[in-house]
Structures are given as C-alpha cells and as structure tokens.
Amino acid sequence: MKAYVIDRYTKEPSVRLAELPEPGVAAGEVLVRIHAAGVNQLDTKIAQGEFKLLLSYRLPLALGNDLAGTVVRVGAGVHAFAPGDEVYARPDKDRIGTFAEMLTLNQDDLARKPVNLTMTEAASLPLVALTAWQALVERADLQPGQKVLVQAGSGGVGTIAIQLAKHLGATVATTASATNAAFLKELGADIVIDYRTQDFATQLDGYDVVLDSQGPDSVAKSMSILKPGGKVIGIAGPPDPDFAREIGGSPVLRLATRLLSLTTRRKAARLGVDYSFLFMRASGRQLSEITTLVENGTIRPVIDRVYPFTATPQALDHIAKGTAKGKIVISMI
C-alpha cells in the first residue's frame, strides 16, 4: 500500500511517498481502508522531532492522526464492527499512520461515522473533537454558567471547543483575528478578543477554565484571568509529571517533565490555580458520544481546505503555517 513517511526528524518536515506492506489484523483489531485523513499541527511537530523524547517511533514513520473510512477486515473477538462499516477514529498514539491507504486499529479506538457527514468531514473531527472533549468535559468538568477562554478559536481544536463549551452552557471567550470574529460568534463564542490589537489578560477576569493551544508563555499569561481554583489546560506544553506517568514514562522522562513544567507549576501554585498538560488519547467510546452531538447538529466540522492524497506534502506545509481556519483534510478518493 502507499503511505507518506518521514525517514528522519527535521526542522523543515519532509515526507516521501513509500510502498509499505498491507497491515495485518490480530485479535481485537480492525483493518480500515482510509478514504480521508485529517491534518494536524501534531503531524508537523512529530516530523520535527518535538515528541521524540516522549513518544518512541520507529523510522521510517507514516504520519497522520485522523481517519475516516470503511472496514476491510476484523480480527477475532471483534463484534461491534464488520466489513463495509463506515467508521472514523484517532488511532492510538503508538499506532499512527493515517496518511496511507490502510491502517489497522484497536477496535476500542473506532466509532461509527456520523451519518450526516461525508468521509472528508468526518476525517476532520476525531483528534480535535476528542481533545476538546477530554479538556472540557473530562478534565475541566465544565458546568453551565462557568466561563471558559478558548485560545486560538479559529484553529482546528478551537472551532470544536467553542461549540462544545457553548453546548455545555458556558460563557465562551476566544482569541482570534478580527476577520474571524463574526464566524466564531456563529459557532457560539460570546466574546472574541482580537489578538492583534487587544490583550486578553486586560479584557477578561474571573474565568473558570482556559484551554490553551499556544504554549508555555500563553499558559503563564492565561493564569492571570482565572479565579482561585480555576484551571489552565495546555495542549502545547509544557508537559508535566502527570503526563509522564500516564504514558508510563521512564524515571528520566518524569524528571525532564518535572523540570520543564517547574516554573509553570510554581506560578499556578502561587496564584491558587491548577495547570495540567493534555495529550489527548484515542477513545472510540468518547468519539461515539461526539457522534451523537454531530448528528443532532450541536457540533459541525469546519474545514479550511481539502487536498488530494498526492498533495500530502502541500497539506503539511499549509498546516505548518498556522493560518488554517478549522481543519485541513487529505482525500484518498
């Protein structure tokens, strides 16, 4: 089968089209023919080697963390899926590779594709929707009447997090360019801070939750708008010791994450707020709950552009610029 792979980690990610063996199917696994794959900032960060100390990948490595497609074969013990089923998923972090014609996944990572979405639309959702769900529902336990700031609202995670937070009954603020303000208010944002001309730290106060996708400096600044006991959930770092424990990291990795997050954790403690790093995990069960919200119209995908499979390198270049409104998707068909 054809797949786009990297042979080494480089600052300017370079992928090549390779011929790989068709994946096998073991007990509890499902082989999926991929119709479309979402493109994420995570793909470029993996290619740049930003996670090489946290995630052990063998090179050459097929990139890709979102898929929608049809089931080809199932292994022993798989009863929830059958050949021909339309599915979507974010594969487990150790089994990525959706920029390919086929991929084998654990059955627990799969969910049935929303019936009201095309394959392209469905492929845009798993990673960003699961990130928003695990941040706002699972970790923050966001409640009606609370206030949440979603950083970078026009991005892949942001567009879904705004919709989910509004569904949960929160007051939603977000940062974005002024040109995207009307669009984000349509998605559910109550307040849009123009990051080019306004400082969110002087505009907002008394917030319960911040979902940050910008990194350590933004995380530190976000703490200033929280009420005591508020939470900053960072998806761009710094990684913390809890994350190292979650992935079964070595003592060296645990020490490294402790040092990397020390300044952030100390500031949070001084302010009486909480900081945690979220590296979302695959979950077919949670994705099925998201499917319900998609099918009833609560959440809709936002797609900036669709590239053909042959233009995968161009799709990665596009996402690396950080200017996409919603998601970039690769179509295999």
Rounded to whole angstroms, what are the CA distances from 281 to 89, 108, 128, 140? 11, 11, 11, 16
CATH placement of domain 127-277: 3.40.50.720
Strand partners, 174: 150, 192
Q: What is the reported pLDDT for 277?
A: 96
Q: What is the reported pLDDT for 222?
A: 97
Q: What is the reported pLDDT for 53?
A: 79
Q: What is the reported pLDDT for 250?
A: 87
Q: What is the reported pLDDT for 284?
A: 98
Q: What is the reported pLDDT for 204?
A: 98
Q: Where are the domains of the chain?
A: 2-124+301-331, 127-277
Q: What is the reported pLDDT for 77?
A: 97
Q: What is the reported pLDDT for 246?
A: 87
Q: How many C-beta atoms lie closer than 10 Å to residue 55's C-beta?
A: 13
Predicted model pTM: 0.97
Going from the first residue of the chain to its last (333 residues), give the mean pLDDT of each consecutive group of 10, the final group possibly shorter: 96 93 97 98 94 87 98 98 98 96 98 98 98 98 98 97 98 97 97 96 97 95 97 94 88 90 96 96 98 98 98 96 94 93
What is the architecture, at CATH level 2, of domain 2-124+301-331? Alpha-Beta Complex (3.90)
Structural tokens at position 218: 């933004």
Q: What is the reported pLDDT for 13?
A: 83
Q: 210-242: buried (b, 16+ CB within 10 Å) or exposed (e) per residue?
A: bbbbbebebbbbbbbbbeeebbbbbbbbbbbbe
Q: What is the reported pLDDT for 103?
A: 98
Provide the residue type at 282 as one letter.
A
Q: What is the reported pLDDT for 248?
A: 86
